[in-house]
Amino acid sequence: MKRRTALKNLTLSIGYAVATPALFSMLSSCTADVETWKPEFLSSNEKYLVTHLVDIILPTSNSPGALDVNVPQFIDKMYHNIESEENKKVFKNGAAIFTEKFEAMFNKKFSKGNIEDIYTLFDSYFKLSDVKHQQVIQDQQQNLSEIDEDKKASFLMYKFLFSVRYYTLFGYYTSKEVGTEVLNYDPVPGVYKGCISIEEVGNAWSL
């Protein structure tokens, strides 16, 4: 599958999101180099984890990747400035559980891991049977207080992973680079056509 086609499908899968002026302002401010920027919300360990996860989700190819448009910085700003205190706590607990799972699987400190190791663990939690996938989705629609004690660790970790995946896609598709270079972009739209085939539409439009 071509990268542009895959990106279009990912856009459709997350639906349409309205970015407020405040979000656009945060997006435009995410310009620091991934190696040197100092997070406001993420710990150093969480920065390392999130950076590798977004690179796994949307790596650089013939199109810009998540790191090219500063998605880790965007996630950090969203959690520092927008997310509720409850969601911040869930995020950090989920990240801690993922780290513990990593160290148990590979028998080494998370800071000594590489992107291949992280991908192996990440992939293991998304390569599920249809039945298990549906169960995870159902659990994620519940509140933490409704989850059985023996499922809470899994619940929190999936909350963390789904959040990183969601904000990776959201930050990526609302970035200027992707809006103008990857998606169809026409700042001066032409004639309106109300009934045309999907093939004629082509790639998803940013404007």
Q: Is residue 190 part of a domain?
A: no
Q: Is residue 183 part of a domain?
A: no
Q: Is residue 192 part of a domain?
A: no
- pLDDT tens digit sequence for 16-39: 444 444 554 555 555 555 567 899
Q: Is residue 182 part of a domain?
A: no
CA–CA dist 90, 97 (Å, integer)? 11
Q: Are 152 and 46 in contact (CB under 8 A)?
A: no
pTM of the model: 0.72
Looking at residues 116-135, what average pLDDT do you find?
A: 88
Q: Is residue 34 part of a domain?
A: yes
* Torsion-angle region of 39 (φ positive above 0: left; ψ -120 to 50: alpha; else: beta): beta
Q: Is residue 199 part of a domain?
A: no
- pLDDT tens digit sequence for 155-200: 999 999 999 999 998 888 887 666 556 555 455 555 666 666 656 5
Range of the structural domain that residue 91 is part of: 26-176
The total number of structural domains that make up the chain: 1
HSE-CB of 195 using CA atoms within 13 angstroms: 0
Q: Is residue 153 part of a domain?
A: yes
Q: Is residue 61 part of a domain?
A: yes
